[in-house]
Each structure stands twice: as C-alpha cells, then as structure tokens.
Amino acid sequence: MKVLVINGPNLNMLGVREPEIYGSRTYADLEAKIMEDARNLQLQVKVKQSNFEGEIVTMIQKAYGKYDGIVINPAAYTHTSIAVLDALKAVGLPAVEVHLSDIEQREDFRKHSVTVAGCIAQVTGLGFESYREGLNKLKEYLETTI
C-alpha cells in the first residue's frame, strides 16, 4: 500500500517553533519517525512538506492514481482552506487528518477543521504518535476496501 504523507505550513519549523506546544524534536526527527512507523506497518510512504496552499493542492491532485491514500497535517490551512478540502474531495483518495496538538483544547479558531470533511478520520493531540495512529487507521481502512 502506497501512502503520501503531506505536512503543511510551519511544520518544517518543528524544534524551534513553540516547543511548549509542539515539543523540541525537529522536522527531520518527525520524518524519520514516520518512516520508521511506515516500515513497522509495512506501508510504502513518501513524506512531503510545503508552506504553500496551492502546492499542497497540487500534491493532492498528483497523488491520484499513484497512491492508495493520504495522511495529511494541513497545519494552519486546516482551519481555512476550502481549496485543500476540494482537492481531497476531487481525488477521492481515503485521507486521514492528523495534528500534533489537540486542536479541540486550543484557541477557538483552531477548534474547527474545514479539511476534515474530506477525510475518513482525524487524529489529534498525540504528538508524533498522531502520524503512527493516522497511518494505522488508513491501513485498516484500505485493508477493508482494496
């Protein structure tokens, strides 16, 4: 099973960015952890990051026909991006939305996800483990549908 992991804006700043919320591990650490999880789950995973909304839309579009599913942390675009939502709906690939922090427990503007409506599930608040759980949920879903 081939899975594309997409990380949105400012996640490349992990380690520097608000460590009290996101921890002290870096983006490179996150990528390494995702690849380790992928090996353990026997998934073929590619990880990409972009700070640009249109680039994320293009990544989702290009996943069509190439990947079986998507794990996405749209970061701030979670709360605003109809374009990312529409791209997820357009390709129709099963997608799981993940967040490092628990968006329900933060500022009001983070409580609502626009993009989750294009996803089969959401995992929040587990730090790096959110990605492992997201990959696992996607794998379970794919096993029942492929």
Residues identified as active-site: 22, 99
**Tokens of residue 56, six digits:** 């994320």
SS3 state of residue 111: helix
84 binding ligand DQA? (CB under 6 A): no
Smallest gap from Cβ 73 to ligand DQA, in A, equals: 5
Among 23, 110, 114, 121, binds ligand DQA (CB under 6 A): 110
Across 1-146, the runs of DSSP E, i.e. the strands, are 2-7, 44-49, 69-73, 95-99, 121-124
101 binding ligand DQA? (CB under 6 A): yes
Number of residues that bind ligand DQA (CB under 6 A): 10
CB-CB contact of 146 with 1 (8 Å): yes
What string marks each residue from 26 to 65 as x (binds ligand DQA by CB under 6 A) or -?
----------------------------------------
Whole-angstrom CA distances from 50 to 56, 84, 120 are: 6, 13, 22
Interacting residue ranges for ligand DQA, rule: CB under 6 A: 10, 73, 75-76, 78, 99-101, 103, 110
